[in-house]
Amino acid sequence: MAILVTGGAGYIGSHTVRELLEQGEKVVVLDNLCKGHAAVVPEGLLVRGDVQDKELLHRLFRRYEIEAVIHFAAFSLVGESVQEPLKYYENNVVTAQRLLTVMQEYGIKKFVLSSTAATYGDPQGIPIQETDPTIPTNPYGETKLAIEKMLRWCDVAYGIKSVALRYFNAAGAHPEGDIGEDHRPESHLIPLILQVALGQRDTISIYGDDYETQDGTCIRDYIHVMDLAQAHWLALKLLREKGTGGIYNLGNGQGFSVKEVIARTRAVTGHPIPSRVSARRAGDPAVLVASAAKAESELGWRPKHSGLGEIIASAWNWHRRHPSGFADHEAD
């Protein structure tokens, strides 16, 4: 039996594929490479294609005996989703609906979703708990929340059990230094700061310093990609051993402002990293910090690489070794 990993050529997906293989799982990756990199997928595991392609899904489900699906494939940029909401509804909600439709036809009953802290919107309390209100401030968060709701009804109607993992801000890279974060264009804070340290950018823009936070800049909970990878394995175990699913926050429970992240990156890299304040980015909540108590008690998940310095150092290790990222990107 194999695990189908959609979006497994992407950043978090590729680290999770590594973890699954280390656990002895058989894996098939489905990725259209619109954002991902063929080079990160181990030889022979990549099926190149779109998750929306139902014919392809039928061929896949006939060819491989799929036990469970881990669904990373999506668009995930907060700012872009505000500019182009329909693109997000199409590739996130429609794609998930098609995938679940074909899964249901083949009787596949285990599903793990990459969900997000963006489902909460502006939180009513910190740290955020899974039972807190979900009022997204951007279309990206709305689309992930829509998929979570779809999953609930798929359980009621078809018995598809699912785990929705609400990641906070993924960062860092594999300790072996051969896979890491390479989004094109890059929009995430830590890799952009590291591009300044590498001399590829002159400054890092701080998107707004007039938020109601201690230093006026947005606060996020940065979580190591290897800890996220491990959570997917634990989610599979939960589905297999308990036959139940759930919604889980994945974060360290500690928030860092944009200015603090820049300062910590200066310390890790030894580079001055000039910054300048620019306008707020649409759709950004001021503070997102997780309570991951539920993931700890029900999944047995505890982050192993929780220090911000360690997270940045592992990203820096990858970026220094791959200053131009992966060589195989479609857009190159």
Contact set with ligand NAD (CB under 6 A): 6-7, 9-13, 31-36, 50-52, 72-74, 76, 91, 95, 114, 116, 167, 169-170, 183
Buried b (16+ CB within 10 A) or exposed e, 25-45: bebbbbbbbebbbeebbeeeb
Q: Which is nearer to ligand NAD, 254 or 271 (CB)?
A: 254
Q: Smallest distance, Å, CB 93 to ligand UPG?
A: 15
7 binds, among ligand NAD, ligand UPG, none (CB under 5 to 8 A by kind): ligand NAD
Q: Smallest distance, Å, CB 11 to ligand NAD?
A: 3
Q: Which is nearer to ligand NAD, 91 or 138 (CB)?
A: 91
Asked if 47 contacts 7 with a C-beta cutoff of 8 angstroms, the reply is no
Q: Smallest distance, Å, CB 148 to ligand UPG?
A: 13
Which residues make up the interface to ligand UPG (CB under 6 A)?
A: 76-78, 116-118, 168-169, 187-189, 192, 204-207, 218, 220, 258, 281, 284, 288
288 binds, among ligand NAD, ligand UPG, none (CB under 5 to 8 A by kind): ligand UPG
Q: Smallest distance, Å, CB 107 to ligand NAD?
A: 22
57 binds, among ligand UPG, ligand NAD, none (CB under 5 to 8 A by kind): none
50 binds, among ligand UPG, ligand NAD, none (CB under 5 to 8 A by kind): ligand NAD
- Residue 192 CB partners (closer than 8 Å, separation 6+): 186, 201, 204
Cα 120 from Cα 224, distance rounded (Å): 21
Q: Which residue has the tokens 């759709």?
A: 283
Give the pair of three-digit tokens for residue 213.
């936070």
Residues that are catalytic: 140
Nearest residue to ligand NAD, using CB? Answer: 10
| Strands, E assignment, the chain | 2-6, 26-31, 46-48, 66-71, 110-116, 161-167, 169-171, 204-207, 219-220, 222-224, 246-250, 256-257, 275-278, 287-288
Cα 47 from Cα 38, distance rounded (Å): 10
318 binds, among ligand NAD, ligand UPG, none (CB under 5 to 8 A by kind): none
Look up residue 280 and give its DSSP letter. P
Q: Which residue has the tokens 């979703």?
A: 113
Q: Smallest distance, Å, CB 182 to ligand UPG?
A: 14
Amino acid found at 199: G
In the sheet where 26-31 sits, what is the strand order?
46-48, 26-31, 2-6, 66-71, 110-116, 161-167, 246-250
13 binds, among ligand NAD, ligand UPG, none (CB under 5 to 8 A by kind): ligand NAD
Q: Smallest distance, Å, CB 115 to ligand NAD?
A: 7
Label the pairing between strands 204-207 and 246-250: unpaired
Q: Which is nearer to ligand NAD, 35 or 259 (CB)?
A: 35
